[in-house]
Structures are given as C-alpha cells and as structure tokens.
Structure 1
C-alpha cells in the first residue's frame, strides 16, 4: 500500500525515451516547485541535513523573507510531495521525501554525460 506521497515508478530517463503526456503531467508539479530559488534552497537545506529533518525555526534565519513567505514556499514543496512535515508542539519539522526526489532525478537521467 502506498502512502499519500509515494508514487509508482514513472518512466525511463528522457535521454532514453520520450515522456508520455500522462508522465509529464505527473512530474510537472515537482519540477515547478523546485523552479524557484527560495524553494530549491529550502529543499536543499532539508534534504542535506544530517538529522534528516529540519525545524522551521532553523530555516527562517537563512532568508531575508518573512515567516509567512517561508511558510508559503514550504507549503508548495509539501503539496508537490517533495517534503513531509510533522508538528511537535508549536514547531513544525520537515523532512525530504526521498522517493519523489529520486523519481525526478531518474527521469532527468542520472549519469547523463556530454557526448
């Protein structure tokens, strides 16, 4: 049984076969979500953290943005399935959804080399 953010394997790397319309539509939310510099940085902070999760309180100081703006960007990442969150008291902790990240990376073709 799959969780709400788990997705079945998608497709071959784009260097091996063209995407179907359904596969492209399925992947676009994740790519759109990381197409913003703030969201890409937030995702990087979360995914690279040695604790595998980050409190929102530890992320806001890294940006010259208001708390509500950071929350909006985190919501976009969460709705795209790239991160999950858990509330603990007054704080929210975020962790990367590695299956979704691997899926996006796979379609781009890990190991692409210039020919």
Structure 2
C-alpha cells in the first residue's frame, strides 16, 4: 500500500480560534467576559458541574440541585438564571419543577478558546 498525504482543511480558519490564534475583537471579548463572569462564582461553577455530570442530553431537576447547597431555592434559581443568560445551560419548566441541561456547543467554544496550541500546531 502506498502512503498518501492528507491535506488539512480549515487550519487557521476555525469558527472559534483559540486565545493564542489572534487578539480578541470587542464583540468576542464582551461575549466571553459574560461567560467567564458567570463562571467566576463558586456556586455557579458547582451548579454547572452538577448539570454537566449528567452527560450529553442529561437533565437535572432544580429539586436535585438545591439540597447540595446551603442556600435558598430562590438564590439557586438566580445563579441558574445567570448561567442561562451566559448561554451555558438551558431549561424547561415541567409542572412545578424546572429541568436544566448543558449546552455542549457553548462548552466546546470555551474549550477551543482556552486550549493552548500543541507543539505541532504552533509549528504549522
């Protein structure tokens, strides 16, 4: 069998370039600042972690989240609202309870942004 070289498509044209790819424009910086501000609180970080632990497509009822904290239900709801406004989670009301799930694309965009280039990428 012969070896063939494969062309890498899209190098440097990713939809969400990493932090080291180029300086941020004002719009992207404002968008990311909103997300990082939401993640800057330990309660919100834990809430996101608890929701994400359900896996892709998994949902968590607010009734399962509240007992894990020494905070009132309205305070937990406020933190969840800020995570929703940052575009990290979404929710749906079903009867009395609200169910939350992670928006994987939002986490993927953050991961791409934060990812440091590997040696091979830096040399390309």
The TM-score by the shorter chain falls in which range? 0.7 to 0.9
* Coordinate RMSD, CA, aligned: 1.9
Residues 53/111 of structure 1: CA separation in 2 closer, same or farther (3 Å cut):
farther
After superposition, give the CA deviation of every residue in 1:51-91 in whole Å (9 maximum; x if it has no partner): 61100000001001111110100010011111100111101
Is 1:21 matched with 2:21?
no
Deviation at 1:111, TM superposition (A): 6.3
- The size of the alignment, in residue pairs, is 105
> TM-score if structure 1 supplies the norm length?
0.82
Shift in CA distance, 64/109, structure 1 to aligned 2, threshold 3 Å: same
Distance change >3 Å, CA 39–CA 10, structure 1 → 2: farther
Choose from 56, 77, 82 the match for 2:83.
77
User: Is the CA contact 1:53–1:94 (under 8 Å) kept in the aligned structure 2?
Assistant: yes
Secondary structure at the residue paired with 2:98? strand
Indicate yes or no: 2:48 matched with 1:43.
yes
In the TM superposition, structure 1's runs of 4+ consecutive aligned residues that sit over 2 Å from their partners are: 110-113
| Structure 1 unaligned regions, length at least 5 | 1-8
Where in structure 2 are the equivalents of 1:74-113 lying within 5 Å? Answer: 74-109=80-115
Per mean C-alpha deviation after superposition, the further-off stretch among 9-18 and 54-63 is 9-18
2:89 and 2:102 in contact (8 A); partners too = yes
Tell me by how many angstroms 1:42 deviates. Answer: 0.1
